[in-house]
């Protein structure tokens, strides 16, 4: 029994852990934790309080996946509803579909009575107004020019919450929720709601969740690549290294990749990895008194040196 998450899950991890310790299903635990982060106004990249898109609307992406039979549900570009992760779960439970977007997702959310709310906080709106004013001044009034100015740096993509859990029956589930890249183009869909890209889960092997530059995770199929490596017998660390090295192959020399993964295998081994230094992930099991904030393994460009924090075995690993 174990729960692992991206850094934004820190404040919600204990709740997921308590549920698992009381015998809850992995899916209930990951959804409960994700909902808490969606309500946290201090997290500007998930749920209420998330930064809006280019035109000032908060559009949310979320997905859930169950490892038992790889069922999944997802919503993308959903506005006006406070818990996209729960809407994603209901898509999985109530429809023969997997992913609903925009107005269609909102129509479904209305139909099931999902909780509505104002997602744009005063703080997030001020951030958006500042950004747009700066972009207007430097790039002009054209929306495309502003978009280029505001989304030039993928490290400003924001963050996401990933929660992966292994329950007492050996089932694994994963949930991912995000407001996506701040100033994204309206209707832009990232990796978070796409099984295989930002979220993947299979009881036979394990689970993975991504944060960072979603377009890269979509192109590389990062979460699925991690689980495929677990299936071939790789450790979570090795699986994450291989997947992030593959992400680096998509990035032109001199540019940053900004991609993070959290990995949990069916034996309860876990690892967090990032293309950047100084990133963290969180985990909780019966062996510790509370959530642990752990440093992520840093993965450089393929062929480069891979630096490992002491918590992940220490030292420097040979390049690929
Ligand atoms: N992966 C998310 C997206 O591309 C954003 C992030 O994690 O920073 O929408």
Of the candidates 165, 23, 194, 174, the residue with the CA atom closest to the CA atom of residue 101: 194
Ligand 1 centroid–CA 165 distance in Å is 21
pLDDT value of position 312: 43
CA angle at 134 for the pair 55 and 217, rounded to the nearest 5° = 60
What number is the average pLDDT over the span 260-268?
97
pLDDT bracket for residue 71 (50, 70, 90): very high
pLDDT value of position 37: 98
**More reliable by pLDDT, 314 or 90:** 90
188 neighbors 181 (Cβ within 8 angstroms) = yes
Ligand 1 centroid–CA 78 distance in Å is 15
Res. 258: pLDDT tops 90: no
Ligand 1 centroid–CA 192 distance in Å is 7
Ligand 1 centroid–CA 70 distance in Å is 22
CA angle at 272 for the pair 45 and 23, rounded to the nearest 5° = 85
pLDDT value of position 164: 98
Write the pLDDT tens digit of every residue in 142-187: 999 999 999 887 776 678 999 999 999 999 999 999 999 999 999 9
pLDDT value of position 305: 46
- Tell the residue nearest (CA) to atom 5 of ligand 1: 180
Of all residues in the chain, what percent are helix, strand and coil, respectively (each to 5)?
35, 25, 40
Q: Which residues line ligand 1 (CB under 6 A)?
A: 45, 157-160, 178, 180-181, 190-192, 198, 211-212, 214
Please state, for a pLDDT cut of 90, what percent of the chain lies above it: 88
Of 213, 257, 262, best ligand 1 pocket probe by most atoms within 8 Å of the beta carbon: 213
Write the pLDDT tens digit of every residue in 265-319: 999 999 999 999 999 999 999 999 999 999 999 998 865 545 544 344 333 333 3
What number is the average pLDDT over the span 43-61?
96
- Tell the residue nearest (CA) to atom 4 of ligand 1: 214
What number is the average pLDDT over the span 107-111?
98
pLDDT value of position 69: 97
Q: Which residues pair with 64 in a beta bridge?
A: 73, 175
pLDDT value of position 317: 38
> Atom of ligand 1 at shortest distance to CA of 160?
7
pLDDT value of position 158: 72
Ligand 1 centroid–CA 275 distance in Å is 14
Please give the C-alpha separations between residue 94 and each of 29, 33, 98, 113, 192, in angstroms, as whole numbers. 20, 22, 10, 13, 21
> Atom of ligand 1 at shortest distance to CA of 260?
7
Query: Average pLDDT, whole number, for the chain?
Result: 93
- Tell the residue nearest (CA) to atom 8 of ligand 1: 159
pTM over 0.75: yes
Exposed e or buried b for every residue in 247-277, given b needs 16+ CB within 10 A?
A: bbeebeeeeebbbbbbbbbbebebbbbbbee
Res. 111: pLDDT tops 80: yes
Res. 93: pLDDT tops 80: yes
Annotation marks residue 160 as catalytic: yes
> Which of these is catalytic: 160, 211, 222, 275?
160
> Atom of ligand 1 at shortest distance to CA of 258?
8
pLDDT value of position 318: 33
Write the pLDDT tens digit of every residue in 194-234: 999 999 999 999 999 999 999 999 999 999 999 999 999 99
pLDDT value of position 159: 83
pLDDT value of position 146: 93
């Amino acid at each position: 029994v174990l729960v692992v998450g991206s850094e934004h899950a820190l404040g919600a991890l204990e709740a997921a852990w308590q549920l698992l310790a009381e015998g809850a299903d992995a899916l209930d635990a990951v959804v409960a934790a994700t909902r808490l982060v969606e309500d946290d106004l201090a997290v500007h990249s998930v749920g209420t309080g998330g930064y809006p898109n280019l035109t000032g609307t908060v559009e949310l992406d979320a997905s859930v996946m169950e490892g038992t039979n790889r069922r999944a549900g997802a919503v993308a570009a959903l506005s006006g509803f406070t818990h996209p992760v729960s809407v994603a779960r209901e898509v999985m439970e109530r429809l023969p579909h997997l992913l609903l977007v925009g107005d269609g997702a909102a129509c479904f959310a209305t139909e099931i009575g999902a909780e509505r709310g104002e997602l744009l906080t005063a703080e997030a709106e001020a951030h958006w107004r500042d950004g747009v004013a700066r972009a207007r001044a430097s790039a002009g009034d054209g929306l495309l020019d502003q978009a280029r100015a505001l989304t030039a740096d993928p490290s400003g993509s924001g963050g996401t919450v990933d929660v992966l859990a292994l329950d007492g029956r050996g089932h694994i589930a994963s949930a991912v929720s995000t407001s996506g890249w701040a100033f994204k183009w309206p209707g832009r869909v990232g990796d978070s709601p796409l099984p295989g890209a930002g979220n993947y889960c299979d009881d036979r092997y394990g689970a993975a969740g991504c944060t960072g530059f979603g377009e890269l995770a979509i192109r590389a199929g990062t979460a699925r690549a991690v689980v495929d490596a677990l299936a071939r017998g790789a450790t979570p660390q090795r699986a994450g290294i291989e997947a992030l090295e593959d992400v680096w192959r998509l990035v032109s020399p001199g540019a940053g990749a900004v991609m993070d993964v959290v990995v949990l295998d069916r034996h309860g081994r876990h690892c967090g990895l990032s293309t950047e230094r100084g990133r963290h992930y969180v985990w909780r099991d019966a062996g510790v008194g509370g959530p642990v904030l752990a440093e992520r393994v840093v993965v450089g460009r393929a062929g480069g040196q891979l630096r490992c924090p002491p918590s992940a075995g220490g030292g420097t690993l040979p390049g690929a």
